[in-house]
Structure 1
Amino acid sequence: MRQEVTRAHKGWALDTVTIHNEVLKQVKEEITAAPPEGVYIYGLYLDGAGWDRRNNKLTESTAKILFTALPVVHIFAINTTGPRDPKLYVCPIYKKPRRTDLTYITAIYLRTTVSPDHWILRGVALLCDIK
């Protein structure tokens, strides 16, 4: 995706293009068209945390609820050389609940009001399959 975006925008260098994401408030059924740039992904489940749809941020998980469905995520590329916001939690995505390097896919950035270290200690991750 980085290469495609770099080719589409004249003057962008591949070294300065980074992948970024935004969690939307919509669910899959509310999306009617493709994004102008990037991709929409859905079907991810939060393990170890909950999701506040109103404020688009991580929250503590609700009692007796193991997994929380995440709304649609828009993944896109931006041209920047600046550092990432240190208040974002770098959340790993795994294929299965068994978290190994063989099931690791990538990481996305989720908004939070508490320190990202809080979620690291809780072991928060996104899963593609919860079975």
Structure 2
Amino acid sequence: MRSSLSDLQRAIKGLVVMSSELELMYNSMLTNAVPDAWAKVAYPSLKPLASWIKDYHDRIAFMRGWLEGGAPPCFWLPGFFFPQGFMTGVLQMHARKESIPIDALNFGFEVTEAETGDDVASPPEDGIYVNGLWIDNARWNRTTRRLDESEPGVMFSPLPVVHFKPVLNYVPPAGEYQTPLYKTSVRAGALSTTGQSTNFVLCVSLPIREGTESDFWVLQGVALMCMLDN
């Protein structure tokens, strides 16, 4: 980014030739779009350029705080380039701690009362606290502590901090909806070299409103996202 911006500034001043790549970058900036030269090597995102830059700096601040101050009590999952790898590492640490095979471990989920990561004072004994997720086409009812229908005119709503807890031979509860978690609102993705989807992360099991079944929420198109498009 630094070198391409420097080259663009020089090209605008007429000090170097304006290449086709620099021209595309300039045109993208005029329309508040992320230049293709940056997007093709960056994390998946549908944000416009202004929001993308802010999100980019938030990610840097999150990682720098982790490096300089140690692991945070709550992890901002959208800040990871490859969150699947991070969560595999969490399971590996728990498997070593308990001396059990990692293949028998999976995550169980509990939505806490903490609204944001700042409300979390200390990490859990097992697993991790995760914040920064959004619910698409539904909301979290803080009274009933269940998934509920969206408020009128509200498409996205924040999900409180979630406890990702490693569970041996985990079986999802029958009365919960296996909510797919995506990095962006595009509910599709190509397989990466690791065999993982470039967009789908995992399914988060959430309790649902009484009197409904999983099929109801499937038809509603309910999913979780790591980031919004704006």
Which of these residues, 43, 65, 68, is aligned with residue 154 of structure 2?
A: 65
- TM-score, with length taken from structure 2: 0.53
Q: Give the residue type in structure 2 aligned to 1:49.
A: A
- Please identify the structure whose Cα radius of gyration is greater: 2
- TM-score, with length taken from structure 1: 0.90
Q: CA RMSD in A?
A: 1.5
- Report the counterpart of residue 121 of structure 1 in structure 2: 219
Which of these residues, 129, 139, 144, is aligned with residue 55 of structure 1?
A: 144
- Report the counterpart of residue 119 of structure 2 in structure 1: 30
Residue 78 of structure 1 and its aligned partner are, at CA, apart by 1.2
Q: Which consecutive residues of structure 1, in runs of 5 or more, have no partner in the other structure?
A: none
SS, match of residue 121 in structure 1: helix
- Deviation readout 1:39-73 (Å, 9 max, x if unpaired): 11111110011111122210011100110100001
By percentage of residues, which structure has more helix?
A: 2
Give runs of ≥4 in structure 1 deviating > 6 Å. none
Q: How many residues are aligned here?
A: 129
Cα distance between partner residues in 2 of 1:57 and 1:99: 23
Residue 3 of structure 1 and its aligned partner are, at CA, apart by 2.2
By percentage of residues, which structure has more strand?
A: 1
Compare relative contact order (CA 8 Å, sep 6+) and give the higher one, 1 or 2.
1
- Deviation readout 1:85-112 (Å, 9 max, x if unpaired): 1211000111111211232111110001
Residue 126 of structure 1 and its aligned partner are, at CA, apart by 0.6
More off after superposition, 27-36 vs 44-53: 27-36
Identical counterparts, % of pairs: 29
Which of these residues, 39, 54, 63, is aligned with residue 128 of structure 2?
A: 39
Q: Which consecutive residues of structure 2, in runs of 5 or more, have no partner in the other structure?
A: 1-89, 190-197
Q: Give the residue type in structure 2 aligned to 1:68.
A: S
